[in-house]
């Protein structure tokens, strides 16, 4: 018998024991009761559970797990004491092999169901080299309570800040910083004005601390940070990102990608993939699929500081990178210059608008895009009107990927391969790389 972590509920309808049949997108387990589907989080296939309805619809209901009466063979005891309560992880209770199985299965089922893709075109998932301590950055939510200054994460589906003494997903150096910052801000008058602290570490183990501050003047806060033994770049962010003040260090982090390795710099607070080792696997996959011969024109949308752009540029005739973040474009240009890459041009602006205009690079042999979670549907419409022979789509959301692929697959593009990558162990999330070719055939494939 396994009792689950404490959680609040607005309902008192406790169901009879249920058996979990499968897992679904979002990470919950699926059971059935009197013809209705019941979604139960933090469960494994084969679990016999007791649960309570918290939200009921006509065809389905969402439930709170109260107790695991008979655990499935693939269930394990999570190493984190707040697993099941914390909103950061959904699958710590599953063995890593089981996590990989379900990520691959759910990803494949999404593309098959929504896009009509041949299952054989969805390749096996690439496991993360590190199951734990893989996160290179983290956002700590902060709160002052009777217990003092709390650093942690939101409880699942709430705004309640849970104290987390040590997170098994983040780099050990960031756990050490968390402990130091918790002590540093305890019993201070301005702690209530600190809603969040961002921590990051790069490939050289350099760390950075960004303290979000709601106060007007941060002199006292800055002095306290500078006097502490943090050995990190230090930034105070006054509300919006435009009001960031660097008080120690150069504010630059660096990652390594490509073969041979390129070193890419980016600003503290800028975007880099969370799992640095797995990011190198992503870049390697894109380079392999691209099969560049040195004669191609390549466009990289949502290019950031050059994560895919610069490794691709070394193998292409010309590369154009487009990104709407001015600071990321600035670093992309600097990274190209430092690496001696002269055939890459970077432009700041909305990817959808600049690419659709086709004024920056009218003859495109390969399009690479790595959009945010919301996807790139407007870009897909442009690709239908002005086809590109090869497209590589890097996605962090299988649902928006499936939506975006549909217009391409109905208008002459063929899906050659799609492969999920486990960028986020202990969660249901996965990254993916999908490769398409334009067939110039109105009958199309995968329709």
pLDDT digits (tens, 9 = 90+) for 195-210: 999 999 999 999 999 9
Are 292 and 385 contained in the same domain? yes
Alpha carbons 276 and 206: distance in angstroms, whole number: 13
Are 311 and 424 contained in the same domain? yes
What the block records as the tokens of 234 is 């230090």
Domain-embedded: residue 361: yes
Domain-embedded: residue 81: no
Are 166 and 227 contained in the same domain? yes
Domain-embedded: residue 85: no
Per-residue pLDDT band for 358 (boundaries 50, 70, 90) equals confident
DSSP for residue 161 = E
Domain-embedded: residue 219: yes
Q: Which of 38, 57, 75 is the last residue of a domain?
A: 75
Are 247 and 203 contained in the same domain? yes
Q: Is 6 exposed, middle or buried (0-12, 13-18, 19+ CB in 10 A)?
A: exposed
- Is residue 183 part of the annotated active site? The answer reads no
What the block records as the tokens of 202 is 């790069």
pLDDT digits (tens, 9 = 90+) for 85-123: 998 999 999 999 999 999 999 999 999 999 999 999 999
Domain-embedded: residue 90: no
Domain-embedded: residue 91: no
Reduced 3-state DSSP string for 264-322: EEEECCCCCCCCHHHHHHHHHHHHHHHCCCCCCEEEEECCCCCCCHHHHHCCCCEEEEE
pLDDT digits (tens, 9 = 90+) for 215-245: 988 899 999 999 999 999 999 999 876 789 9
Are 306 and 206 contained in the same domain? no
Q: Which of 362, 369, 406 is nearest to 387 (CA)?
A: 362
Per-residue pLDDT band for 248 (boundaries 50, 70, 90) equals very high
pLDDT digits (tens, 9 = 90+) for 144-161: 988 889 999 999 889 999
**What CATH number corresponds to the domain at position 192?**
2.40.50.1070
Are 285 and 389 contained in the same domain? yes
What the block records as the tokens of 375 is 């996807």
**What CATH number corresponds to the domain at position 413?**
3.40.50.150
Q: Who contacts 334 (Cβ-Cβ below 8 Å, separation ≥6)? A: 265
**Could you give the C-alpha distances from 213 to 179, 191, 227, in angstroms and in order?**
19, 9, 18
Domain-embedded: residue 93: no
Are 334 and 402 contained in the same domain? yes
Beta bridge partners, 369, equal 301, 393
Per-residue pLDDT band for 7 (boundaries 50, 70, 90) equals very low
Are 319 and 400 contained in the same domain? yes
What the block records as the tokens of 418 is 């799609």
Q: Which of 386, 377, 433, 432 is nearest to 411 (CA)?
A: 386
Are 308 and 288 contained in the same domain? yes
Average pLDDT estimate for 167-180: 98
Average pLDDT estimate for 296-312: 98
The domain tally of the chain equals 3
* Range 195-198, long-range pairs (CB < 8 A, 24+ positions): 195/141, 195/142, 196/139, 196/140, 196/141, 196/142, 197/139, 197/140, 197/142, 197/151, 198/137, 198/138, 198/139, 198/140, 198/269
Are 217 and 287 contained in the same domain? no
Q: Which residue has the tokens 């009777």?
A: 146
pLDDT digits (tens, 9 = 90+) for 63-83: 999 999 999 999 999 999 999
Are 378 and 235 contained in the same domain? no
Q: Which of 253, 281, 301 is the last residue of a domain?
A: 253
For 198, other C-beta atoms within 10 Å of its C-beta total 17
Of all residues in the chain, the percent with pLDDT exceeding 90 is: 87
**What CATH number corresponds to the domain at position 45?**
2.40.50.140
Are 417 and 361 contained in the same domain? yes
The predicted structure's pLDDT at residue 292: 98
Per-residue pLDDT band for 12 (boundaries 50, 70, 90) equals low
Domain-embedded: residue 277: yes
Name the residue range of residue 30's domain: 2-75
Of 80, 142, 151, 396, catalytic: 396
What the block records as the tokens of 233 is 């770049």
Q: Which of 218, 253, 288 is the last residue of a domain?
A: 253
The dihedral sign for the CA sequence 116, 119, 123, 129: positive
Alpha carbons 253 and 200: distance in angstroms, whole number: 9
Phi first, then psi, for residue 98 (nearest 5°) are -70, -40
């Amino acid at each position: 018998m396994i009792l689950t972590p404490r959680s609040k509920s607005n309902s008192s309808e406790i169901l009879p024991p249920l058996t979990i049949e499968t897992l679904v997108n979002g990470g919950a387990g699926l059971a059935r009761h009197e013809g209705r589907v019941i979604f139960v989080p933090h469960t494994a296939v084969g679990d016999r559970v007791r649960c309570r309805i918290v939200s009921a619809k006509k065809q389905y209901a969402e439930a709170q797990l109260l107790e695991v009466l008979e655990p499935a063979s693939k269930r394990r005891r999570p190493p984190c004491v707040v697993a099941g309560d914390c909103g950061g992880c959904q699958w710590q209770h599953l063995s890593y092999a089981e996590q990989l199985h379900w990520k691959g299965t759910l990803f494949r089922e999404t593309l098959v169901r929504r896009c009509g893709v041949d299952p054989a075109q969805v390749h096996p998932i690439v496991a993360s080299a590190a199951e734990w301590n893989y996160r290179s950055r983290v956002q700590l939510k902060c709160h002052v309570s009777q217990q003092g200054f709390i650093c942690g994460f939101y409880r699942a589906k709430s705004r309640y800040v849970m104290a987390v003494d040590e997170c098994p997903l983040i780099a050990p150096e960031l756990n050490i910083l968390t402990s130091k910052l918790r002590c540093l801000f305890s019993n201070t008058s301005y702690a209530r004005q600190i809603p969040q602290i961002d921590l990051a570490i790069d490939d050289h183990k350099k760390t950075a601390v960004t303290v979000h501050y709601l106060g007007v003047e941060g002199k006292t806060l800055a002095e306290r940070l500078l006097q502490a033994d943090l050995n990190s770049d230090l930034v105070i962010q006054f509300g919006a990102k435009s009001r960031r003040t660097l008080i120690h260090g150069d504010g630059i982090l660096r990652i390594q990608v490509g073969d041979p390795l390129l070193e890419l710099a980016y600003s503290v607070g800028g975007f880099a993939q969370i799992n640095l080792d797995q990011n190198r696997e992503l870049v390697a996959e894109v380079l392999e699929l691209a099969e560049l011969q040195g004669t191609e024109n390549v466009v990289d949308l949502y290019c950031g500081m050059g994560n895919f752009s610069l490794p691709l540029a070394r193998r292409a005739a010309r590369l154009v990178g487009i990104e709407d973040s001015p600071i990321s474009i600035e670093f992309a240009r600097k990274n190209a210059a430092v690496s001696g890459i002269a055939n890459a041009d970077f432009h700041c602006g909305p990817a959808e608008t600049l690419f659709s205009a086709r004024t920056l690079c009218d003859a495109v042999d390969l399009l690479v895009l790595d959009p945010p979670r919301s996807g790139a549907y407007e870009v897909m419409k442009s690709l239908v009107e002005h086809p590109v022979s090869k497209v590589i789509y890097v996605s962090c959301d299988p649902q928006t990927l499936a939506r975006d692929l549909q217009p391409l697959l109905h208008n002459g593009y063929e899906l050659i391969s799609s492969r999920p990558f486990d960028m986020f162990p202990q969660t249901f999330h996965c990254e993916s790389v999908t490769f398409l070719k334009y067939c110039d055939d109105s009958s199309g494939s995968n329709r």
